């Protein structure tokens, strides 16, 4: 059967564009809105098809040559937009955020996602999968098949090289910190059994080869301890960019009571505590290692305290008090659906919501609206260049 030709429609959340084939929706990767492409069907379901654009007949002005030789149909699934110019990527991300807000929250957003360069050499944390032959690589899109990769163009140049040797672990994580430290995590249970201190061997290039490790990240001159595979933003400029956006949106005043929910290692907590002093900052995190890191990172701030409990549980039990002046939340990709009602009940004058998924954000913003909070502002940041991921900072205020 000949691969069909389709006219490509708008971008959709998830790194693909929407087309139609004989009346059926097709989610097409490696295409751009307005293009005419030949597609190869990769998956079929009763509701829609998935496909790759294998030949471009009429190209978008935003189409460029892929800088990565491992990108393209049937190849590495790590990047969605290697074929898109920098400005074109911002347009796609903006369209996705705008569509999600309009469709799910009935909000017309007239902003534009902001660039945070560079497009390449930015990813400071990469988890490599290991093929049956022991070679490290990255998985093909929607597949467990590992594509061996000699080098990744979006990976930070300081990352330890894993391509020149074989591995007997299913995964290998490489990390480069903002202070120049390098960590190679070879524990098969990455993120599950990491201890708080380095117990491995330090190689001649400064790389710690171990199943455990602690790194130091630096933001605005302040150091943060992060245990091994613990969560930290992967773009070198992300932490500073988000801290600045959160502080601007929170408008914290001296004497305020501030809650930092899903606080991780305490990145926002530290700067919020400084801003609200002599007020109170409560940093809430459910992950044990991250909460321990936050406790260490906030130890010099007398007005800051840490709570190691899942956010939803802490709110439901009333463990965070009956009121707050400012609430900052940075939930996982699934959002904060179970926490929204309890946050609104605290009656803060500002809610700052940091989101890595625009659909979950739009859903939760709609719920906040039903509880008396309007979207006062929203900024989007392209903190994951070449991919469909976008970080948003939304500020909500009483309606």
Interacting residues of 209 by C-beta distance below 8 A, sequence separation 6+:
184, 186, 200, 201, 202, 203
How far apart (Å, rounded) are the C-alpha atoms in residues 83 and 324?
Answer: 46
How far apart (Å, rounded) are the C-alpha atoms in residues 179 and 311?
Answer: 30
Q: Among this protein's residues, is 356 annotated catalytic?
A: yes
Residue 381 pairs with which residues in a beta bridge?
114, 391
Residue 259 pairs with which residues in a beta bridge?
282, 327
Report residue 232 as tokens: 């930290």
Q: Are 238 and 391 in contact (CB under 8 A)?
A: yes
65 carries a ligand binding annotation: no
Tell me, what DSSP letter sits at residue 161? Answer: P
Q: Are 189 and 148 in contact (CB under 8 A)?
A: no
262 carries a ligand binding annotation: yes
Q: Of 124, 166, 175, give the one whose Cα is nearest residue 146.
A: 166
Neighbour count for residue 321 (Cβ, 10 Å): 11
285 carries a ligand binding annotation: yes
How far apart (Å, rounded) are the C-alpha atoms in residues 160 and 138?
Answer: 15
Strand pairing category for 114-115 and 373-382: parallel
How far apart (Å, rounded) are the C-alpha atoms in residues 314 and 114?
Answer: 34
How far apart (Å, rounded) are the C-alpha atoms in residues 342 and 248?
Answer: 24
Neighbour count for residue 207 (Cβ, 10 Å): 22
145 carries a ligand binding annotation: no
C-alpha dist (Å) from residue 364 to 21, 46, 288, 371? 34, 29, 26, 11
Tell me, what DSSP letter sits at residue 3? Answer: P
How far apart (Å, rounded) are the C-alpha atoms in residues 105 and 184?
Answer: 42
Give the active site residue among 76, 276, 356, 392.
Answer: 356
Report residue 192 as tokens: 């599950």
Residue 84 pairs with which residues in a beta bridge?
63
Q: Would residue 383 be called left, alpha or beta, if left means φ above 0 and alpha means ψ between -120 and 50 degrees?
A: alpha
How far apart (Å, rounded) are the C-alpha atoms in residues 233 and 179?
Answer: 14
Residues annotated as catalytic are 356
Q: Which residues are annotated as a binding site for S-adenosyl-L-methionine?
A: 233, 262, 285, 330
Q: Which residues are annotated as a binding site?
A: 233, 262, 285, 330
């Amino acid at each position: 059967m000949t691969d069909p030709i389709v006219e490509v429609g708008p971008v959709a959340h998830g790194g693909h564009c929407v087309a139609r084939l004989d009346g059926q929706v097709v989610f097409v990767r490696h295409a751009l809105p307005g293009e005419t492409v030949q597609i190869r069907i990769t998956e079929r379901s009763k509701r829609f098809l998935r496909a790759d654009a294998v030949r471009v007949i009429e190209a978008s002005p935003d189409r460029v040559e892929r800088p990565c030789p491992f990108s393209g149909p049937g190849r590495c699934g790590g990047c969605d937009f290697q074929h898109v110019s920098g400005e074109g990527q911002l347009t796609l991300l903006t369209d996705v955020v705008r569509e999600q807000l309009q469709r799910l929250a009935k909000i017309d957003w007239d902003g534009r996602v902001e660039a945070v360069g560079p497009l390449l050499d930015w990813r400071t944390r990469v988890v490599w999968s290991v093929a049956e032959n022991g070679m490290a690589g990255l998985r093909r899109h929607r597949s467990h098949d590992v594509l061996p990769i000699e080098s990744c163009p979006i990976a930070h140049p300081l990352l330890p090289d894993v391509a020149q040797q074989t591995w007997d672990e299913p995964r290998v994580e490489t990390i480069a910190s903002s202070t120049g430290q390098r960590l190679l995590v070879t524990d098969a249970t990455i993120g599950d059994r990491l201890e708080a201190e380095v117990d491995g061997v330090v190689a001649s290039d400064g790389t710690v080869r171990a199943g455990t490790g602690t790194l130091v990240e630096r933001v605005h001159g302040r150091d943060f301890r992060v245990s091994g595979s613990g969560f930290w933003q992967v773009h070198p400029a992300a932490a500073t960019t988000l801290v600045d956006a959160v502080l601007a949106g929170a408008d914290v005043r001296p004497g305020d009571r501030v809650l930092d929910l899903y606080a991780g290692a305490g990145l926002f907590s530290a700067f919020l505590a400084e801003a609200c002093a002599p007020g109170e900052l409560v940093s809430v995190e459910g992950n044990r290692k991250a909460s321990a890191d936050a406790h260490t990172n906030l130890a010099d701030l007398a007005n800051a305290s840490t709570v190691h409990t899942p956010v939803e549980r802490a709110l439901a039990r009333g463990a965070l008090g009956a009121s707050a002046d400012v609430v900052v939340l940075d939930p996982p990709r699934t959002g904060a659906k179970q926490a929204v009602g309890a946050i609104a009940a605290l009656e803060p004058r500002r809610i700052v919501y940091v989101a890595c998924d625009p659909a979950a954000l739009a859903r939760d913003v709609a719920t906040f609206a039903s509880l008396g909070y309007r979207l006062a502002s929203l900024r989007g940041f392209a903190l994951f260049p070449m991919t469909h991921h976008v970080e948003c900072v939304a500020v909500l205020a009483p309606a």
